[in-house]
Structure 1
Amino acid sequence: MEREPLITLASRTARRSVPATAHDTFPVRSAHSGDAAALGALSEPFVRSGALCARPLSLYVEDSADFLVVDAPDGKLLGCLALRTHPASADAGRAASGILYNFCVTPCSQGHGLGTKLLTAAMVRANFLSLKTLFTATTGSGELFRRHGFAPAHVTAAPPAWVNSLSPERNSRILFRSL
């Protein structure tokens, strides 16, 4: 069985220069169930702002393997991004795809390339898993996603089970990127 590569990517942001910071040396790692409480705590400010939907701790435990995280030297999570796979559906003509969700970077770490580092690591993981397309839903500008090749998608292009799980009242926009 082929092992997933350890992801230790340098932080680089397209279209703007980011000063070198200590964030450049923080590796991206796969989360584990022991990270569930920290994932919930990291996500809480984004839930309060309306950028994320609330999730019970049990879902962070259950879905911990979906998450990529970056730790500060003191062990506190600085950022996370989850990737869930959706298998191919031959009868619907859909290739295997991935959904990016629960993307969070602490406010003090924003603007230093950490989001780019997580997104790039998720795309590396998606390629390793032979996914053909990535989707995400955003209530924000989606600027970071757009800088990395994401574009608006019609709901019919995305996995129906995921689309049906989105809350219409949040008015999320769906973005996609082919791999």
Structure 2
Amino acid sequence: MTTATLHPAAAHATPSPRAHAPFRRGAPEFSVRPARQEDGPALAALSRPFAHAGALRERPLSAYLSQATEFLVAQAPDGTLEGCLGLREHSASGVLYNFCVAAHRQGSGMGARLLHAAFARARTRSLATLFTATTGSGRLFLRSGFLPACPSLAPTGWAQSLDPGRNARVLSRAV
């Protein structure tokens, strides 16, 4: 998973009609909910600019359709998905992946709300530890209690799937 801000050119590649709507502090203009299979195309569309910018791995639509229920989404009042975060379960631990927030929502608290919803989901599923990988700064993760971790402590299949060419840092946090 990567937490990166889109380059301004990439952020404007697929403009949204809400792209310049101001964020009002104290009155969230979005809700967080579990994703449904029918959200697959919207998850793919939301993630596409991040994948094109190199901040996320490219995933086919079929992956979003089959894995949609692993996601939490941030939804605007008009139904548009503006943020997402996947949580894949591995025995007693979990992996957070595909964390993205639409460019016009970055800095609004949406990412923090998604992350805290993932913590709550992990607790209800009795996961002891969460892992993630980031090629970005990881500031939100670090502020939320994640620490650098040895990849050998992470779920084996996931750790082996990390692309060494991306130089991702593995982080973990007790739930």
TM-score normalised to structure 1 length: 0.83
Who is 2:115 aligned against? 119
User: Using the alignment, how far apart are the partners of 2:26 and 2:44 within structure 1?
Assistant: 26
State whether residues 40 and 65 of structure 2, in contact with CA within 8 Å, keep that contact through their aligned partners in structure 1. Answer: yes
User: Using the alignment, how far apart are the partners of 2:56 and 2:47 within structure 1?
Assistant: 8
Deviations 1:93-134 (A, max 9, x none): xxx000000001001001010000000000000000000000
Cα RMSD after superposing both structures: 1.3
Residue 77 of structure 2 is aligned to residue 77 of structure 1: no
User: Using the alignment, how far apart are the partners of 2:29 and 2:49 within structure 1?
Assistant: 25
Residue segments in structure 1 that go unaligned for 5+ positions in a row: 1-17, 88-95
- The alignment partner of 1:135 has SS state of strand
In structure 2, give the amino acid aligned to 1:169. G
Aligned length, in residue pairs = 153
Who is 2:146 aligned against? 150
Q: Which aligned pairs between 1:9-158 and structure 2 lie closer than 5 A?
A: 20=25, 22=27, 24-87=28-91, 96-158=92-154
User: Using the alignment, how far apart are the partners of 2:24 and 2:114 within structure 1?
Assistant: 18
- The alignment partner of 2:159 has SS state of helix
- The alignment partner of 2:43 has SS state of helix
Runs of 4+ residues over 6 Å off in structure 1: none
TM-score normalised to structure 2 length: 0.84
- The alignment partner of 2:59 has SS state of coil
1:26 offset after TM fit, Å?
A: 2.2
1:50 offset after TM fit, Å?
A: 0.6
Identity of aligned pairs, percent? 55
- The alignment partner of 1:63 has SS state of helix
Q: Which has the higher contact order (CA 8 A, sep 6+)?
A: 2
- The alignment partner of 2:50 has SS state of helix
